[in-house]
Chains A and B, each alone.
Chain A
Amino acid sequence: MLILQNVSRQFGGLAALANVNMTVPEGQVTGLIGPNGAGKTTLINNISGLDHPTGGTIRFRDVDISRQPPHKITALGIARTYQNIRLFGEMTALENLLIGQHGRGKATILESLVFAPRFRREEKTLRAHAFELLEQFGLQAAANTPAGALPYGDQRRLELARAIATHPHLILLDEPTAGMNPVETHQLGEQILRLRASGQTVLVIEHDMSLIQQVCDEIYVLNFGQIIAHGTHEALKRDPQVIQAYLGEDAEDGAA
Protein backbone atom coordinates (compact mmCIF):
# COMPACT_ATOMS: atom_id res chain seq x y z
CA MET A 1 0.00 0.00 0.00
CA LEU A 2 2.73 2.43 1.03
CA ILE A 3 6.15 1.87 -0.49
CA LEU A 4 9.25 3.87 0.37
CA GLN A 5 12.18 3.51 -2.00
CA ASN A 6 15.59 4.87 -1.06
CA VAL A 7 14.01 7.77 0.78
CA SER A 8 16.57 10.27 2.02
CA ARG A 9 16.23 13.58 3.80
CA GLN A 10 19.23 15.84 4.24
CA PHE A 11 19.22 18.87 6.53
CA GLY A 12 22.23 20.84 5.39
CA GLY A 13 25.02 18.29 5.66
CA LEU A 14 23.10 16.13 8.08
CA ALA A 15 21.25 13.05 6.83
CA ALA A 16 18.11 12.59 8.92
CA LEU A 17 17.04 9.73 6.64
CA ALA A 18 19.35 7.73 4.40
CA ASN A 19 18.05 5.34 1.78
CA VAL A 20 15.05 4.14 3.72
CA ASN A 21 13.24 1.23 2.09
CA MET A 22 10.01 0.18 3.64
CA THR A 23 6.66 -1.35 2.77
CA VAL A 24 3.41 -0.99 4.66
CA PRO A 25 1.09 -3.77 3.50
CA GLU A 26 -2.64 -3.16 3.26
CA GLY A 27 -4.76 -4.23 6.20
CA GLN A 28 -1.85 -4.70 8.56
CA VAL A 29 -0.39 -2.84 11.48
CA THR A 30 3.22 -2.00 10.80
CA GLY A 31 5.50 -0.73 13.53
CA LEU A 32 8.47 1.60 13.31
CA ILE A 33 10.77 1.69 16.27
CA GLY A 34 14.11 3.29 16.97
CA PRO A 35 15.91 5.34 19.60
CA ASN A 36 15.31 9.05 20.01
CA GLY A 37 16.68 11.08 17.14
CA ALA A 38 16.66 8.10 14.80
CA GLY A 39 14.56 10.02 12.29
CA LYS A 40 11.13 8.53 13.02
CA THR A 41 9.18 11.77 13.07
CA THR A 42 11.08 13.03 10.03
CA LEU A 43 9.90 9.93 8.22
CA ILE A 44 6.26 10.51 9.18
CA ASN A 45 6.52 14.17 8.18
CA ASN A 46 7.81 13.10 4.79
CA ILE A 47 5.00 10.61 4.28
CA SER A 48 2.32 13.10 5.33
CA GLY A 49 3.72 15.89 3.17
CA LEU A 50 4.81 18.35 5.88
CA ASP A 51 8.33 17.75 4.65
CA HIS A 52 9.66 16.33 1.42
CA PRO A 53 12.45 13.84 0.81
CA THR A 54 15.66 15.05 -0.83
CA GLY A 55 16.01 11.69 -2.56
CA GLY A 56 14.03 8.56 -3.34
CA THR A 57 10.30 8.12 -3.81
CA ILE A 58 7.29 7.50 -1.62
CA ARG A 59 4.43 5.72 -3.38
CA PHE A 60 0.95 5.31 -1.97
CA ARG A 61 -1.45 3.09 -3.87
CA ASP A 62 0.70 3.52 -6.98
CA VAL A 63 0.75 7.32 -6.75
CA ASP A 64 4.06 9.08 -6.21
CA ILE A 65 3.42 11.33 -3.22
CA SER A 66 7.03 12.38 -2.55
CA ARG A 67 6.44 15.98 -3.51
CA GLN A 68 2.68 16.33 -2.97
CA PRO A 69 1.35 18.99 -0.58
CA PRO A 70 -0.16 17.64 2.65
CA HIS A 71 -3.80 18.28 1.75
CA LYS A 72 -3.50 16.20 -1.41
CA ILE A 73 -1.92 13.37 0.51
CA THR A 74 -4.79 13.52 2.98
CA ALA A 75 -7.23 13.43 0.09
CA LEU A 76 -5.50 10.30 -1.22
CA GLY A 77 -6.19 8.65 2.12
CA ILE A 78 -3.37 9.14 4.59
CA ALA A 79 -4.12 10.59 8.03
CA ARG A 80 -1.87 11.12 11.00
CA THR A 81 -1.60 11.99 14.64
CA TYR A 82 1.27 13.82 16.28
CA GLN A 83 3.80 13.05 18.95
CA ASN A 84 2.83 16.25 20.76
CA ILE A 85 -0.91 16.57 20.42
CA ARG A 86 -1.84 19.13 17.81
CA LEU A 87 -5.56 19.62 18.19
CA PHE A 88 -7.19 22.93 17.34
CA GLY A 89 -7.29 23.94 20.99
CA GLU A 90 -9.71 26.86 20.74
CA MET A 91 -12.28 24.77 18.87
CA THR A 92 -14.66 22.33 20.45
CA ALA A 93 -14.19 18.60 20.06
CA LEU A 94 -17.08 18.60 17.60
CA GLU A 95 -15.51 21.33 15.49
CA ASN A 96 -12.22 19.46 15.44
CA LEU A 97 -14.04 16.52 13.91
CA LEU A 98 -15.75 18.79 11.40
CA ILE A 99 -12.34 20.09 10.34
CA GLY A 100 -11.24 16.51 9.97
CA GLN A 101 -13.98 16.05 7.40
CA HIS A 102 -12.97 19.18 5.51
CA GLY A 103 -12.02 17.34 2.34
CA ARG A 104 -15.39 15.59 2.19
CA GLY A 105 -17.44 18.77 1.98
CA LYS A 106 -18.27 20.21 -1.40
CA ALA A 107 -20.41 23.27 -0.65
CA THR A 108 -18.95 26.57 -1.82
CA ILE A 109 -18.75 29.85 0.06
CA LEU A 110 -21.59 31.16 -2.04
CA GLU A 111 -23.83 28.24 -1.10
CA SER A 112 -23.22 28.85 2.58
CA LEU A 113 -24.01 32.55 2.09
CA VAL A 114 -27.49 31.86 0.80
CA PHE A 115 -28.17 28.75 2.92
CA ALA A 116 -28.36 26.65 -0.25
CA PRO A 117 -29.93 23.20 0.25
CA ARG A 118 -26.68 21.42 -0.54
CA PHE A 119 -24.91 23.44 2.14
CA ARG A 120 -27.54 22.58 4.77
CA ARG A 121 -27.63 18.91 3.81
CA GLU A 122 -23.89 18.70 3.87
CA GLU A 123 -23.53 20.38 7.27
CA LYS A 124 -26.09 17.94 8.63
CA THR A 125 -24.21 14.89 7.36
CA LEU A 126 -20.86 16.19 8.58
CA ARG A 127 -22.29 16.86 12.02
CA ALA A 128 -24.00 13.51 12.19
CA HIS A 129 -20.78 11.77 11.32
CA ALA A 130 -18.87 13.85 13.87
CA PHE A 131 -21.32 12.77 16.57
CA GLU A 132 -20.91 9.15 15.52
CA LEU A 133 -17.17 9.47 15.98
CA LEU A 134 -17.57 11.17 19.35
CA GLU A 135 -19.72 8.27 20.46
CA GLN A 136 -17.34 5.68 19.06
CA PHE A 137 -14.49 7.20 21.05
CA GLY A 138 -16.53 7.86 24.17
CA LEU A 139 -16.28 11.61 23.85
CA GLN A 140 -19.98 12.56 23.66
CA ALA A 141 -19.77 14.59 26.86
CA ALA A 142 -16.89 16.61 25.45
CA ALA A 143 -18.65 17.61 22.23
CA ASN A 144 -18.88 21.29 23.10
CA THR A 145 -15.75 21.64 25.21
CA PRO A 146 -12.77 23.45 23.68
CA ALA A 147 -10.28 20.75 22.77
CA GLY A 148 -7.52 22.57 24.64
CA ALA A 149 -9.44 22.24 27.89
CA LEU A 150 -9.98 18.47 27.66
CA PRO A 151 -8.06 16.06 29.87
CA TYR A 152 -4.96 14.59 28.28
CA GLY A 153 -6.39 11.15 27.58
CA ASP A 154 -9.45 12.65 25.89
CA GLN A 155 -7.22 14.82 23.75
CA ARG A 156 -5.29 11.76 22.60
CA ARG A 157 -8.50 9.97 21.66
CA LEU A 158 -9.94 13.03 19.98
CA GLU A 159 -6.82 13.32 17.87
CA LEU A 160 -7.22 9.75 16.70
CA ALA A 161 -10.92 10.35 16.01
CA ARG A 162 -10.02 13.44 14.03
CA ALA A 163 -7.58 11.44 11.92
CA ILE A 164 -10.27 8.86 11.23
CA ALA A 165 -12.70 11.64 10.30
CA THR A 166 -10.63 12.26 7.16
CA HIS A 167 -11.64 8.77 5.97
CA PRO A 168 -8.12 7.46 5.58
CA HIS A 169 -6.91 4.20 4.12
CA LEU A 170 -3.72 4.50 6.11
CA ILE A 171 -3.27 6.04 9.54
CA LEU A 172 0.12 7.17 10.79
CA LEU A 173 0.37 7.21 14.57
CA ASP A 174 3.34 9.16 15.90
CA GLU A 175 4.12 7.87 19.41
CA PRO A 176 0.47 7.54 20.40
CA THR A 177 1.25 6.29 23.92
CA ALA A 178 3.38 9.27 24.94
CA GLY A 179 2.25 10.24 28.42
CA MET A 180 -0.06 7.23 28.89
CA ASN A 181 -0.02 4.76 31.73
CA PRO A 182 0.09 0.97 31.04
CA VAL A 183 -3.69 0.60 31.32
CA GLU A 184 -4.36 3.39 28.85
CA THR A 185 -1.65 2.02 26.57
CA HIS A 186 -3.31 -1.34 26.56
CA GLN A 187 -6.71 0.21 25.79
CA LEU A 188 -5.17 2.11 22.90
CA GLY A 189 -3.70 -1.16 21.64
CA GLU A 190 -7.17 -2.66 21.61
CA GLN A 191 -8.47 0.34 19.74
CA ILE A 192 -5.76 -0.10 17.10
CA LEU A 193 -6.63 -3.77 16.77
CA ARG A 194 -10.29 -2.85 16.30
CA LEU A 195 -9.26 -0.46 13.52
CA ARG A 196 -7.27 -3.27 11.95
CA ALA A 197 -10.24 -5.58 12.18
CA SER A 198 -12.33 -3.02 10.33
CA GLY A 199 -9.83 -3.12 7.46
CA GLN A 200 -7.75 -0.06 8.37
CA THR A 201 -4.02 0.00 7.61
CA VAL A 202 -1.86 1.48 10.36
CA LEU A 203 1.75 2.58 10.66
CA VAL A 204 2.65 3.14 14.29
CA ILE A 205 5.81 4.79 15.53
CA GLU A 206 6.57 3.86 19.09
CA HIS A 207 8.93 3.79 21.95
CA ASP A 208 6.74 1.58 24.04
CA MET A 209 7.53 -2.04 23.20
CA SER A 210 4.47 -3.42 24.90
CA LEU A 211 2.20 -1.67 22.42
CA ILE A 212 4.36 -2.75 19.49
CA GLN A 213 4.22 -6.33 20.71
CA GLN A 214 0.47 -6.10 21.19
CA VAL A 215 -0.51 -4.71 17.80
CA CYS A 216 2.19 -5.00 15.13
CA ASP A 217 2.30 -7.58 12.39
CA GLU A 218 5.66 -6.44 11.20
CA ILE A 219 8.25 -4.06 12.63
CA TYR A 220 10.93 -1.86 11.09
CA VAL A 221 13.85 -0.64 13.15
CA LEU A 222 15.29 2.77 12.34
CA ASN A 223 18.64 3.94 13.66
CA PHE A 224 20.63 7.01 12.58
CA GLY A 225 18.25 7.44 9.65
CA GLN A 226 18.69 3.93 8.32
CA ILE A 227 16.53 0.84 8.51
CA ILE A 228 18.72 -1.68 10.28
CA ALA A 229 16.26 -4.56 10.53
CA HIS A 230 12.71 -5.61 9.96
CA GLY A 231 10.57 -8.61 10.74
CA THR A 232 8.18 -9.84 13.38
CA HIS A 233 8.59 -8.97 17.02
CA GLU A 234 9.76 -12.49 17.77
CA ALA A 235 12.45 -12.36 15.09
CA LEU A 236 13.68 -8.92 16.06
CA LYS A 237 13.98 -9.82 19.71
CA ARG A 238 16.83 -12.13 18.75
CA ASP A 239 18.53 -9.77 16.27
CA PRO A 240 21.80 -8.69 17.90
CA GLN A 241 21.92 -5.44 15.89
CA VAL A 242 18.51 -4.42 17.14
CA ILE A 243 19.29 -5.34 20.72
CA GLN A 244 22.47 -3.31 20.45
CA ALA A 245 20.82 -0.28 18.89
CA TYR A 246 17.57 -0.14 20.69
CA LEU A 247 16.26 -2.92 22.84
CA GLY A 248 19.44 -3.24 24.84
CA GLU A 249 19.77 0.41 25.50
CA ASP A 250 16.12 0.79 26.32
CA ALA A 251 15.59 -2.54 28.02
CA GLU A 252 13.73 -1.08 30.97
CA ASP A 253 11.55 0.99 28.72
CA GLY A 254 10.71 -2.10 26.73
CA ALA A 255 9.69 -4.02 29.82
CA ALA A 256 7.34 -1.30 31.02
Chain B
Amino acid sequence: MEFLSSLGISEPVVQFALINAILGLSIYLTLFTGMFSLANAGFMAIGAFTGVIITQRLGLPLPIGVAGGMLMAGVIALPIGLPVLRLRDIYLAIATIGFGEVVRILILNFDPLVSGLIGMDVEITGGALGIKRIPKLTETWHLIIFLILISYFITRLHRSRFGRAMAAIRQDEKAAANMGIDTVYVKNVVFILSAMIAGGAGAWSGHLTRIISPGDFGFDKAVDILAFAVLGGTSTWVGPIVGGFVLTALPEVLRFADQFRGVINGLILMLVIVYVPGGLVNPAGIRRIFERLRGRKSPSAVPPTSTEAGSKA
Protein backbone atom coordinates (compact mmCIF):
# COMPACT_ATOMS: atom_id res chain seq x y z
CA MET B 1 0.00 0.00 0.00
CA GLU B 2 2.81 2.39 0.85
CA PHE B 3 4.54 1.61 -2.38
CA LEU B 4 1.31 2.25 -4.26
CA SER B 5 0.68 5.56 -2.56
CA SER B 6 4.22 6.66 -3.34
CA LEU B 7 3.21 6.22 -6.97
CA GLY B 8 0.16 8.38 -6.38
CA ILE B 9 -2.21 5.45 -6.18
CA SER B 10 -4.53 6.03 -3.27
CA GLU B 11 -7.31 3.76 -2.12
CA PRO B 12 -10.00 5.44 -4.26
CA VAL B 13 -7.81 4.84 -7.30
CA VAL B 14 -7.56 1.16 -6.41
CA GLN B 15 -11.32 1.01 -6.01
CA PHE B 16 -11.98 2.59 -9.39
CA ALA B 17 -9.36 0.35 -10.95
CA LEU B 18 -11.28 -2.64 -9.62
CA ILE B 19 -14.59 -1.33 -10.94
CA ASN B 20 -13.03 -0.66 -14.32
CA ALA B 21 -11.56 -4.15 -14.39
CA ILE B 22 -15.07 -5.54 -13.78
CA LEU B 23 -16.41 -3.35 -16.57
CA GLY B 24 -13.61 -4.58 -18.81
CA LEU B 25 -14.67 -8.16 -18.10
CA SER B 26 -18.27 -7.32 -18.93
CA ILE B 27 -17.42 -6.20 -22.46
CA TYR B 28 -14.86 -8.98 -22.76
CA LEU B 29 -17.65 -11.57 -22.72
CA THR B 30 -19.43 -10.04 -25.69
CA LEU B 31 -16.23 -9.34 -27.61
CA PHE B 32 -15.03 -12.88 -27.00
CA THR B 33 -18.26 -14.11 -28.58
CA GLY B 34 -17.68 -11.87 -31.58
CA MET B 35 -20.29 -9.30 -30.68
CA PHE B 36 -19.20 -5.69 -30.88
CA SER B 37 -21.66 -4.20 -28.42
CA LEU B 38 -21.32 -0.73 -26.93
CA ALA B 39 -24.36 -1.19 -24.71
CA ASN B 40 -22.50 -1.72 -21.44
CA ALA B 41 -22.50 1.89 -20.30
CA GLY B 42 -26.29 1.75 -20.57
CA PHE B 43 -26.44 -1.43 -18.50
CA MET B 44 -24.06 0.09 -16.00
CA ALA B 45 -26.46 3.03 -15.66
CA ILE B 46 -29.39 0.68 -15.15
CA GLY B 47 -27.45 -1.21 -12.47
CA ALA B 48 -26.28 1.96 -10.75
CA PHE B 49 -29.70 3.58 -10.54
CA THR B 50 -31.48 0.37 -9.58
CA GLY B 51 -28.89 -0.41 -6.90
CA VAL B 52 -28.92 3.08 -5.42
CA ILE B 53 -32.71 3.28 -5.45
CA ILE B 54 -32.85 -0.03 -3.59
CA THR B 55 -30.42 1.04 -0.87
CA GLN B 56 -31.20 4.73 -0.58
CA ARG B 57 -34.88 5.02 -1.38
CA LEU B 58 -35.96 1.61 -0.07
CA GLY B 59 -33.37 1.36 2.68
CA LEU B 60 -32.29 -2.18 1.87
CA PRO B 61 -28.70 -3.42 2.34
CA LEU B 62 -26.02 -3.08 -0.32
CA PRO B 63 -25.80 -6.75 -1.42
CA ILE B 64 -29.50 -6.61 -2.32
CA GLY B 65 -28.87 -3.38 -4.17
CA VAL B 66 -26.08 -4.96 -6.21
CA ALA B 67 -28.11 -8.08 -6.89
CA GLY B 68 -31.09 -5.95 -7.87
CA GLY B 69 -28.95 -3.86 -10.20
CA MET B 70 -27.57 -6.96 -11.87
CA LEU B 71 -31.00 -8.49 -12.18
CA MET B 72 -32.55 -5.39 -13.66
CA ALA B 73 -29.74 -5.06 -16.22
CA GLY B 74 -30.18 -8.72 -17.13
CA VAL B 75 -33.94 -8.45 -17.42
CA ILE B 76 -33.67 -5.45 -19.74
CA ALA B 77 -30.93 -7.13 -21.77
CA LEU B 78 -33.24 -9.94 -22.86
CA PRO B 79 -35.78 -7.99 -24.95
CA ILE B 80 -32.96 -5.78 -26.28
CA GLY B 81 -30.67 -8.65 -27.22
CA LEU B 82 -33.22 -10.75 -29.06
CA PRO B 83 -33.75 -8.29 -31.90
CA VAL B 84 -30.42 -6.44 -31.76
CA LEU B 85 -28.06 -9.41 -31.79
CA ARG B 86 -29.25 -10.37 -35.24
CA LEU B 87 -27.18 -7.42 -36.35
CA ARG B 88 -23.48 -7.72 -36.90
CA ASP B 89 -20.36 -5.68 -36.96
CA ILE B 90 -20.89 -1.94 -37.49
CA TYR B 91 -24.67 -2.28 -37.47
CA LEU B 92 -24.57 -3.85 -34.02
CA ALA B 93 -22.21 -1.12 -32.84
CA ILE B 94 -24.57 1.62 -34.04
CA ALA B 95 -27.66 -0.05 -32.60
CA THR B 96 -26.06 -0.45 -29.19
CA ILE B 97 -24.87 3.17 -29.24
CA GLY B 98 -28.51 4.08 -29.89
CA PHE B 99 -29.59 1.87 -27.00
CA GLY B 100 -27.15 3.59 -24.64
CA GLU B 101 -28.48 6.98 -25.59
CA VAL B 102 -32.09 5.91 -25.15
CA VAL B 103 -31.29 4.56 -21.67
CA ARG B 104 -29.59 7.80 -20.74
CA ILE B 105 -32.49 9.91 -21.96
CA LEU B 106 -35.08 7.70 -20.30
CA ILE B 107 -33.32 7.92 -16.94
CA LEU B 108 -33.06 11.66 -17.43
CA ASN B 109 -36.81 11.93 -17.98
CA PHE B 110 -37.86 9.09 -15.71
CA ASP B 111 -39.39 11.24 -12.98
CA PRO B 112 -41.73 13.36 -15.14
CA LEU B 113 -42.60 10.24 -17.08
CA VAL B 114 -43.61 8.27 -14.00
CA SER B 115 -45.22 11.30 -12.40
CA GLY B 116 -47.35 11.72 -15.48
CA LEU B 117 -48.30 8.07 -15.48
CA ILE B 118 -49.33 7.80 -11.87
CA GLY B 119 -50.65 11.33 -11.59
CA MET B 120 -48.47 12.62 -8.77
CA ASP B 121 -44.99 14.05 -8.47
CA VAL B 122 -42.31 11.56 -7.57
CA GLU B 123 -38.54 11.77 -7.37
CA ILE B 124 -36.85 8.54 -8.34
CA THR B 125 -33.88 9.11 -10.64
CA GLY B 126 -33.59 12.82 -9.96
CA GLY B 127 -33.47 14.12 -13.55
CA ALA B 128 -30.27 15.65 -14.92
CA LEU B 129 -28.79 16.11 -11.45
CA GLY B 130 -29.29 12.46 -10.62
CA ILE B 131 -29.10 11.10 -7.10
CA LYS B 132 -26.85 12.71 -4.51
CA ARG B 133 -25.62 11.91 -1.04
CA ILE B 134 -25.55 8.19 -1.63
CA PRO B 135 -24.03 6.43 1.40
CA LYS B 136 -20.51 5.23 0.66
CA LEU B 137 -21.11 1.57 1.31
CA THR B 138 -18.73 -0.05 -1.17
CA GLU B 139 -15.49 -1.31 0.38
CA THR B 140 -12.35 -2.34 -1.44
CA TRP B 141 -12.70 -5.93 -0.30
CA HIS B 142 -16.23 -6.10 -1.74
CA LEU B 143 -14.82 -5.23 -5.10
CA ILE B 144 -11.91 -7.66 -4.83
CA ILE B 145 -14.27 -10.52 -3.98
CA PHE B 146 -16.68 -9.57 -6.74
CA LEU B 147 -13.83 -9.41 -9.27
CA ILE B 148 -12.53 -12.80 -8.14
CA LEU B 149 -16.00 -14.32 -8.43
CA ILE B 150 -16.51 -12.94 -11.92
CA SER B 151 -13.05 -14.09 -12.98
CA TYR B 152 -13.70 -17.56 -11.62
CA PHE B 153 -17.02 -17.65 -13.43
CA ILE B 154 -15.37 -16.68 -16.71
CA THR B 155 -12.53 -19.18 -16.42
CA ARG B 156 -15.03 -21.95 -15.74
CA LEU B 157 -17.13 -20.75 -18.64
CA HIS B 158 -14.13 -21.03 -20.94
CA ARG B 159 -13.63 -24.64 -19.97
CA SER B 160 -17.23 -25.57 -20.59
CA ARG B 161 -19.16 -26.56 -23.68
CA PHE B 162 -20.86 -23.17 -23.60
CA GLY B 163 -17.53 -21.33 -23.54
CA ARG B 164 -16.25 -23.32 -26.51
CA ALA B 165 -19.43 -22.40 -28.35
CA MET B 166 -18.72 -18.73 -27.60
CA ALA B 167 -15.27 -18.96 -29.14
CA ALA B 168 -16.62 -20.87 -32.11
CA ILE B 169 -19.24 -18.21 -32.78
CA ARG B 170 -16.58 -15.52 -32.74
CA GLN B 171 -14.43 -17.35 -35.24
CA ASP B 172 -17.14 -18.40 -37.66
CA GLU B 173 -20.75 -17.97 -36.69
CA LYS B 174 -22.20 -19.92 -39.58
CA ALA B 175 -19.87 -22.87 -39.18
CA ALA B 176 -20.67 -22.82 -35.46
CA ALA B 177 -24.38 -23.09 -36.26
CA ASN B 178 -23.61 -26.02 -38.54
CA MET B 179 -21.88 -27.72 -35.60
CA GLY B 180 -25.18 -27.80 -33.78
CA ILE B 181 -24.67 -24.66 -31.70
CA ASP B 182 -27.81 -22.62 -31.12
CA THR B 183 -26.06 -19.35 -31.88
CA VAL B 184 -29.06 -17.16 -31.06
CA TYR B 185 -29.29 -18.71 -27.60
CA VAL B 186 -25.58 -18.49 -26.86
CA LYS B 187 -25.32 -14.88 -28.04
CA ASN B 188 -28.32 -13.81 -25.99
CA VAL B 189 -27.14 -15.54 -22.84
CA VAL B 190 -23.72 -13.92 -23.21
CA PHE B 191 -25.34 -10.53 -23.80
CA ILE B 192 -27.38 -10.94 -20.62
CA LEU B 193 -24.36 -12.09 -18.58
CA SER B 194 -22.37 -9.15 -19.87
CA ALA B 195 -25.21 -6.77 -18.99
CA MET B 196 -25.44 -8.24 -15.49
CA ILE B 197 -21.73 -7.78 -14.83
CA ALA B 198 -21.92 -4.19 -16.10
CA GLY B 199 -25.01 -3.67 -13.93
CA GLY B 200 -23.14 -5.00 -10.91
CA ALA B 201 -20.23 -2.66 -11.60
CA GLY B 202 -22.72 0.19 -11.83
CA ALA B 203 -24.30 -0.63 -8.47
CA TRP B 204 -20.91 -0.88 -6.75
CA SER B 205 -19.67 2.35 -8.29
CA GLY B 206 -22.83 4.25 -7.35
CA HIS B 207 -22.07 3.54 -3.70
CA LEU B 208 -18.52 4.69 -4.24
CA THR B 209 -18.91 7.95 -6.15
CA ARG B 210 -21.84 8.84 -3.88
CA ILE B 211 -23.46 10.76 -6.70
CA ILE B 212 -24.81 9.43 -9.96
CA SER B 213 -26.37 11.25 -12.86
CA PRO B 214 -27.46 10.08 -16.31
CA GLY B 215 -24.63 12.08 -17.87
CA ASP B 216 -22.07 9.76 -16.26
CA PHE B 217 -23.19 6.89 -18.46
CA GLY B 218 -23.15 8.33 -21.95
CA PHE B 219 -21.19 7.45 -25.05
CA ASP B 220 -17.93 8.50 -23.34
CA LYS B 221 -18.42 5.80 -20.72
CA ALA B 222 -19.12 3.21 -23.40
CA VAL B 223 -15.85 4.16 -25.07
CA ASP B 224 -13.96 4.00 -21.76
CA ILE B 225 -15.20 0.46 -21.20
CA LEU B 226 -14.20 -0.51 -24.70
CA ALA B 227 -10.77 1.02 -24.12
CA PHE B 228 -10.13 -1.24 -21.09
CA ALA B 229 -10.69 -4.30 -23.25
CA VAL B 230 -8.83 -3.00 -26.28
CA LEU B 231 -5.77 -1.90 -24.29
CA GLY B 232 -5.61 -5.09 -22.25
CA GLY B 233 -6.48 -7.35 -25.15
CA THR B 234 -9.31 -9.83 -25.41
CA SER B 235 -7.50 -13.03 -26.19
CA THR B 236 -7.64 -13.95 -22.50
CA TRP B 237 -9.78 -12.76 -19.61
CA VAL B 238 -6.72 -11.29 -17.90
CA GLY B 239 -6.42 -8.65 -20.60
CA PRO B 240 -9.44 -6.48 -19.73
CA ILE B 241 -8.49 -6.57 -16.04
CA VAL B 242 -5.00 -5.33 -16.83
CA GLY B 243 -6.49 -2.78 -19.23
CA GLY B 244 -8.85 -1.49 -16.54
CA PHE B 245 -6.02 -1.24 -14.00
CA VAL B 246 -3.58 0.45 -16.34
CA LEU B 247 -6.00 3.02 -17.72
CA THR B 248 -7.13 3.95 -14.20
CA ALA B 249 -3.69 4.11 -12.67
CA LEU B 250 -1.78 5.67 -15.55
CA PRO B 251 -3.04 9.25 -15.08
CA GLU B 252 -2.16 9.03 -11.39
CA VAL B 253 1.26 7.51 -11.88
CA LEU B 254 2.23 9.93 -14.62
CA ARG B 255 0.65 12.71 -12.60
CA PHE B 256 -0.54 14.59 -15.60
CA ALA B 257 -3.21 17.17 -15.20
CA ASP B 258 -6.81 16.22 -15.66
CA GLN B 259 -7.06 18.13 -18.88
CA PHE B 260 -4.56 15.88 -20.63
CA ARG B 261 -6.51 12.77 -19.78
CA GLY B 262 -8.54 12.87 -22.99
CA VAL B 263 -5.44 13.37 -25.10
CA ILE B 264 -3.75 10.38 -23.51
CA ASN B 265 -6.84 8.16 -23.66
CA GLY B 266 -7.43 8.96 -27.33
CA LEU B 267 -3.79 8.37 -28.17
CA ILE B 268 -3.70 5.07 -26.30
CA LEU B 269 -6.83 3.77 -28.02
CA MET B 270 -5.50 4.70 -31.44
CA LEU B 271 -1.93 3.55 -30.92
CA VAL B 272 -2.93 0.24 -29.37
CA ILE B 273 -5.39 -0.69 -32.09
CA VAL B 274 -2.92 0.32 -34.79
CA TYR B 275 0.34 -0.99 -33.36
CA VAL B 276 -0.54 -3.52 -30.63
CA PRO B 277 -3.72 -5.05 -32.03
CA GLY B 278 -3.66 -7.94 -29.56
CA GLY B 279 -3.52 -5.62 -26.56
CA LEU B 280 -1.06 -5.77 -23.66
CA VAL B 281 -1.93 -9.31 -22.61
CA ASN B 282 -1.65 -11.44 -25.69
CA PRO B 283 -0.04 -14.85 -25.25
CA ALA B 284 -0.06 -15.62 -28.97
CA GLY B 285 1.64 -12.33 -29.77
CA ILE B 286 4.23 -12.81 -27.05
CA ARG B 287 4.90 -16.33 -28.29
CA ARG B 288 5.37 -15.00 -31.80
CA ILE B 289 7.86 -12.39 -30.64
CA PHE B 290 9.66 -15.05 -28.64
CA GLU B 291 9.81 -17.38 -31.60
CA ARG B 292 11.05 -14.62 -33.84
CA LEU B 293 13.82 -13.88 -31.36
CA ARG B 294 14.85 -17.52 -31.45
CA GLY B 295 14.96 -17.29 -35.21
CA ARG B 296 12.16 -19.69 -35.87
CA LYS B 297 9.62 -18.91 -38.50
CA SER B 298 6.25 -18.10 -37.07
CA PRO B 299 3.32 -20.06 -38.45
CA SER B 300 1.92 -18.56 -41.59
CA ALA B 301 -1.66 -18.52 -40.43
CA VAL B 302 -1.50 -16.12 -37.53
CA PRO B 303 -4.69 -16.41 -35.53
CA PRO B 304 -6.13 -12.96 -35.04
CA THR B 305 -7.08 -11.84 -31.57
CA SER B 306 -10.70 -11.69 -30.65
CA THR B 307 -11.10 -7.92 -30.86
CA GLU B 308 -9.83 -8.31 -34.37
CA ALA B 309 -11.66 -11.41 -35.33
CA GLY B 310 -14.82 -10.31 -33.63
CA SER B 311 -15.97 -8.72 -36.78
CA LYS B 312 -15.21 -10.71 -39.85
CA ALA B 313 -17.58 -8.97 -42.16
Contacts and interface: CB of A to CB of B under 8 A. Distances in A.
B180 interface: yes
A254 interface: no
Nearest to B167: A91
* Dominant secondary structure of chain A at its interface with chain B: helix
A148 interface: yes
Given A88-B168, A99-B181, A149-B299, A112 B175 contact: no
A75 B180 contact: yes
Contacts of A102: 161, 164-165, 168, 179-181
A82 B178 CA distance: 11
B303 A90 contact: yes
A74 B179 CA distance: 7
A166 B178 CA distance: 9
A27 interface: no
B181 A71 contact: yes
Interface string B171-193: 11011111111111000000000
Contact of B157 (A107, A112, A122): A112
B164 A99 contact: yes
B160 A109 contact: yes
B275 interface: no
Contact of B179 (A90, A100, A122, A148): A100
Label chain B's interface by main secondary structure. helix
Q: Which of B161, B165, B168 has the most CB of A within 10 A?
A: B161
B153 A95 contact: no
Interface in A114-153: 119, 122, 126, 146, 148-149
Nearest to A168: B180
A80 B171 CA distance: 17
A99 B177 contact: no
B255 interface: no
A79 interface: yes
B156 interface: yes
Nearest to B152: A113
Contact of A88 (B153, B172, B184, B302): B172
Nearest to A70: B177
Nearest to A165: B179
A49 interface: yes
Contact of A71 (B157, B159, B160, B183): B183
Given A102-B161, A148-B301, A113 B177 contact: no
Nearest to A109: B162
A105 interface: yes
A86 to B, nearest CB: 4
A107 B182 contact: no
Given A71-B182, A113-B153, A89 B164 contact: no
B155 to A, nearest CB: 10
A182 interface: no
A90 B301 CA distance: 9
A80 B178 contact: yes
A112 B300 CA distance: 35
Nearest to B193: A109
A162 B179 CA distance: 8
A22 to B, nearest CB: 20
A75 to B, nearest CB: 6
B175 A88 contact: yes
Interface string B23-61: 000000000000000000000000000000000000000
A229 to B, nearest CB: 29
B182 to A, nearest CB: 5
30 contacts: A50-B177, A50-B178, A69-B177, A70-B177, A70-B178, A71-B178, A71-B180, A71-B181, A71-B182, A86-B174, A86-B175, A87-B175, A88-B168, A89-B303, A91-B164, A91-B168, A95-B167, A98-B161, A99-B165, A99-B168, A99-B176, A102-B164, A102-B168, A102-B179, A107-B160, A112-B156, A113-B153, A113-B156, A148-B299, A162-B179
Interface of A: 48-50, 69-71, 74-75, 79-80, 82, 86-91, 95, 98-100, 102-103, 105, 107, 109, 112-113, 119, 122, 126, 146, 148-149, 162, 166
Given A102-B161, A146-B299, 17 more contacts: A49-B178, A71-B180, A71-B181, A74-B177, A74-B178, A74-B179, A88-B171, A89-B171, A100-B179, A107-B160, A109-B157, A109-B162, A112-B159, A148-B299, A148-B301, A149-B299, A149-B303
